[in-house]
Amino acid sequence: MADRIPASDPGLLVMISLAAGPRHGHAIMLDVAAFAGVRLGPGTLYGAISRLEADGLLAPLAMEGRRRPYRLTDAGLADLQRRLDLLDPLLATARQRVPAR
């Protein structure tokens, strides 16, 4: 029985985490574990961060010690909104077809 969100899109999870405000890598990891029950490995997390940064969806802030916070860019926020919009009809259809308990 699945009780977790599939971690098939770490980038989406990172963007959802950053939608609440700037966070550094470790804080993102803890946040994603808290809201999705998914433990992102360090390689997976920084793979997603580097990809999102290269795509201009998140931006680095000034280093805080050895940690660097990231924030969603406007493009990142728009991309996240678009992704959620794509999920809406999927969820709506699923809720129609699956009887409520």
Partner 1 sequence: MRPLLRLYPRAWLDRYGEELDDLLDATRATPSTALDLARGALTAHLRAAASRGRSLVTGGSPMSFEWPQRHTTSIALLALVITAPTLIILSLYAAAALIGSPDFSATLNGALADWSRFRILDLFLIAAPTVAVVLSGLSMLTGSIGISDGALRLFFVVRPRVFPVAVLLVALALTAFWVGHLGADFLAGRP
Nearer to partner 1, 38 or 84 (CB): 38
Is residue 14 involved in binding partner 1 (CB under 8 A)?
no
Tokens coding 83: 């992704």
Is residue 68 involved in binding partner 1 (CB under 8 A)?
yes
Is residue 37 involved in binding partner 1 (CB under 8 A)?
no
Is residue 46 involved in binding partner 1 (CB under 8 A)?
yes
Is residue 51 involved in binding partner 1 (CB under 8 A)?
yes
